[in-house]
Amino acid sequence: MNLKISLAALLVTITLFGCATSSTPSVTVTLIATQRNAGQIGNVTLSSYDNKTGLSYFISGAPGGVTLPLRLYTFIYKGSCQQPGPVAYAMNEQVNTERQPIRGWTLSRTAPVEMSVLLSGEYAIVVRTAPSDGNFDIFCGDIKQGVAAK
């Protein structure tokens, strides 16, 4: 019985992966936890569509003391995590996250810029807690260090 369930799950995954692939590869950026969120992990996958960039985040957790439901703000800064410049894109029309059964949170955002622009310049992605939770940066990742993942 377990073999049948495993095979069915594999077939569904392959089918969904086949439908989701495009000629433009996606890029995964590792998010590094700040001191305020030490021990947590995260990543964001960038995908190109309609002259925009979709960002799909997964984070393992947020600092203690934040209110639930978890609300996170996301930004793309010009520069790097080590030397951030001005905010290039604030993606905060919605700030809700979705709790995952595997101890983590997911969120999706859209940046009004082509992915090729983000990959050709120096940009960093920042995840921040809500102002009511201290407005702390909890993750940062340099887009140039992303790894293509078709």
4-61: per-residue pLDDT in tens?
333 333 333 344 444 444 566 899 999 999 999 999 999 999 999 999 999 999 999 9
pLDDT tens for each residue of 33-44? 999 999 999 999
Residues in Cβ contact with 104 at an 8 Å cutoff, skipping those fewer than 6 apart: 58, 59, 60, 61
Rounded-to-integer distance, Cα 4 and Cα 7, Å:
5
**Domains of the chain and CATH, by start:** 23-149 (2.60.40.200)
β pairing state of 84-90 and 72-79: antiparallel
Can you give the pLDDT at residue 42? 97
pLDDT tens for each residue of 80-128? 999 999 999 999 988 888 888 778 999 999 999 999 999 998 999 999 9
Q: In sequence order, what DSSP letters do the residues of 110-147 get, joined into one string?
A: EESS-HHHHHHS-EEEEEEE-GGGT--EEEEEEGGG-E
Rounded-to-integer distance, Cα 103 and Cα 101, Å:
6
Residue 3 banded pLDDT, cuts 50, 70, 90: very low
Can you give the pLDDT at residue 87? 97
Residues in Cβ contact with 47 at an 8 Å cutoff, skipping those fewer than 6 apart: 22, 24, 26, 53, 54, 56, 115
Residue 137, number of CB atoms within 10 A of its CB: 18
Model confidence at 131: pLDDT above 70: yes
Can you give the pLDDT at residue 126? 98
Q: What is the pTM of this model?
A: 0.80
Mean pLDDT over 56-79 rounds to: 94
Which DSSP symbol is given to 34?
-
